[in-house]
Chain A
């Protein structure tokens, strides 16, 4: 296999400018992860337009965003352990065993062990990405429009069955995203669709406006409600040290978590929250012989932490090779590449090695930086949890307004962002997830173009969608992920005696 792209990448990522951007990103990412309620997706949404207006080249923007992404997966554990309030969705499982450890006065040890397992997970994930991505890219080079279309169907099927507890709402979110993507000029026919003769909508709905509205405005409104529940109490960090015994004890859990995290990350659309939940549940089933999980077992801490970091790296695999994001956060990054008029896909490895390689190399460097940053300075980051909401939320909103205004220089776009944000808030209250909307939006144009190109090749025959082996396999996989979990549940319920059903 050819790894030239990686050497090109290290040359890019080690330039002093990109190294500095990486350090800033790791630092900001850890803070974003540590602060309750803002996670990687909000952080990236807020900083993307600023990076773009500063005129950073695409590879530097990607390095910044990737550093924030991995940084926040590290930082998320801090508030989970100390406050029992997960810093982001991927750190929910970390709180289950992390917070009991803190209450036993072992917060320092818990932060160290989880920092180490984050590092191991991160590195295993990046190695997986390095090895697997070129392979998948070489496979995908043979994809025609029909295969791409079926691939997107598969992506939405996975999303529907794995993300959130309410598949109908997840799928509605995807379709709404796809619909939003149809607004604007249709390049094939030159027709304007759903623009209502407004020149602003001619170019379509702006990605930055949509993402900031959906994530940061609605988040600020949700924080207003949780705020009413009272102030948090932060436990003492205590002594920070690692016992060799604990490292040996958690090695198995860390390695298993890393592998599960990577696999879940590669699956389209399923991010860190799914990865850490799957790995925690599995680890509990495998190792919890004495019933210590949930009461402060180091293994229950190591496994989900390794998984969410490994997942972050795995999520780049489908994004970089197929143009299908592996998580909500990579969906935003995909949108960022599109702002630069770069369409990710298998050709990206050959055509833009500085972007792909630079990003992957920066993940290696970033994980080392994050370990160095997170081990000695964890006490400083934990102080940040004392930052009151009346400083934090106005700050987030200033960033939102600046971000939107800086890409458009129009007040109308700020008002549009507000409207989208209020709508997003209503949807979130109803139990909808925002990530599927973004995924639908970034995939919408590509999905339609590929469908139409496929049918143009076949002269309108639908059979082209079922012709090649690859599309057939993808159809079967899509059917399997859509129906599989449901069938499995029914089957296992039938297997039990009626008395065992809860």
Chain B
């Protein structure tokens, strides 16, 4: 029964994806057909290839709609929460990147992600600190990749 319900939900999500792809192909095809250009040295111009692709995608998504195939089960409960938390943590790190610098942002990200991978607070904090430090040394000093120091520190240094 459970397996049966799972298969049905699986087909449903595949069908939803097929409909989204179908709509996308229409939208893309329309946007492609109205591209403005003043001059083109070839008979096709910039519009035909995108419209062609839209037609192919439309056809494929129709086939996909009727033969949805199979995928994997969607995560639920805590696993789902973690699947949302992971990109959210990277997003937070990205937003902190310039204000507090590479090392600080990476400390927040690595600690948080270690937590959602099941490490205790203590191990996560130590691991996060060490990773931030090690990567900062590798990239900032050994490989000399340009990384932000952090506006907070940069201004105080300048002042």
Contacts and interface: CB of A to CB of B under 8 A. Distances in A.
Interface of A: 50, 53-54, 166, 168-169, 171-172, 175-176, 178-179, 182, 186, 188-191, 193-194, 217, 220-221, 224-225, 227-228, 388-391, 393-395, 397-398, 400-402, 405-406, 409, 411, 414-415, 418, 421-422, 425-426, 428-431, 448, 451-453, 455-456, 459-460
Contact of A429 (B31, B71, B98): B71
A168 B64 contact: yes
Given A397-B113, A411-B95, A429 B72 contact: yes
B79 A224 contact: yes
A221 B56 CA distance: 31
A175 B98 CA distance: 36
Given A390-B114, A402-B147, A456-B43, A217 B37 contact: no
A230 B91 CA distance: 28
Contacts of B114: 390-391, 394
Given A50-B143, A431-B71, A451-B44, A179 B53 contact: yes
A398 B133 CA distance: 12
A31 to B, nearest CB: 15
Contacts of B13: 430
Contacts of A429: 71-72, 74
A179 B97 CA distance: 31
Given A188-B46, A405-B97, A431-B70, A225 B56 contact: no
Contact of B50 (A193, A402, A421): A193
B45 A189 contact: yes
Contacts, number: 188
A379 B83 CA distance: 34
Contact of B117 (A179, A224, A431, A448): A224
B7 interface: no
Given A390-B119, A395-B131, A411-B97, A430 B71 contact: yes
A394 B146 contact: no
B94 A414 contact: yes
Q: From DSSP, what is the main secondary structure of chain B's interface residues?
A: helix
Interface in B45-69: 45-46, 49-50, 53, 56-57, 60-61, 63-64, 67, 69
A175 B117 contact: no
A182 B50 contact: yes
A190 B37 contact: yes
B82 A224 contact: yes
Contacts of A390: 113-115, 117-119, 123-124, 127
Given A172-B60, A411-B95, A451-B44, A228 B67 contact: no
Given A168-B64, A190-B37, A406 B145 contact: yes
Interface string B68-109: 011110110001001100110011011101100010001001
A405 B131 contact: no
Contacts of B44: 451-452, 455, 460
Contact of A54 (B61, B91, B128, B143): B143
A448 B48 CA distance: 10
B156 interface: no
Question: What size tier do the contact residues of chain B reach?
Answer: 35 or more
Contacts of B21: 172
A228 B73 CA distance: 14
A179 B28 contact: yes
Which 3 residue pairs across A and B have the least CB separation, nearest first?
Answer: A394-B110, A191-B37, A431-B71
28 contacts: A54-B143, A54-B145, A175-B57, A179-B28, A186-B37, A186-B46, A189-B39, A189-B40, A191-B37, A193-B46, A193-B50, A220-B113, A390-B118, A391-B114, A394-B109, A394-B110, A397-B90, A398-B109, A401-B97, A402-B102, A402-B147, A406-B147, A411-B98, A414-B90, A418-B94, A430-B17, A452-B44, A456-B41
B46 A189 contact: yes
A225 B83 contact: yes
B35 interface: yes
B69 A166 contact: yes
Contacts of B91: 415, 418
B135 interface: yes
Nearest to B69: A166
B108 to A, nearest CB: 11
B145 A168 contact: no
B2 interface: no
Given A166-B69, A169-B64, 8 more contacts: A53-B146, A193-B46, A411-B98, A428-B72, A431-B14, A452-B44, A456-B41, A460-B43
Contact of A191 (B35, B41, B94, B97): B35
Contacts of A186: 35, 37, 46
Contacts of B79: 224-225, 228
A425 to B, nearest CB: 8
B139 A402 contact: yes
Given A188-B40, A430-B13, A172 B46 contact: no
A456 B44 CA distance: 8
Contacts of B74: 429
Contacts of B26: none
A236 to B, nearest CB: 26
A390 B100 CA distance: 23
A164 B45 CA distance: 35
B27 to A, nearest CB: 10
B106 A401 contact: yes
Contacts of A175: 53, 56-57, 60
A193 B35 contact: yes
Contacts of B117: 224, 227, 388-390, 393-394
Nearest to B58: A175
Contacts of B95: 411
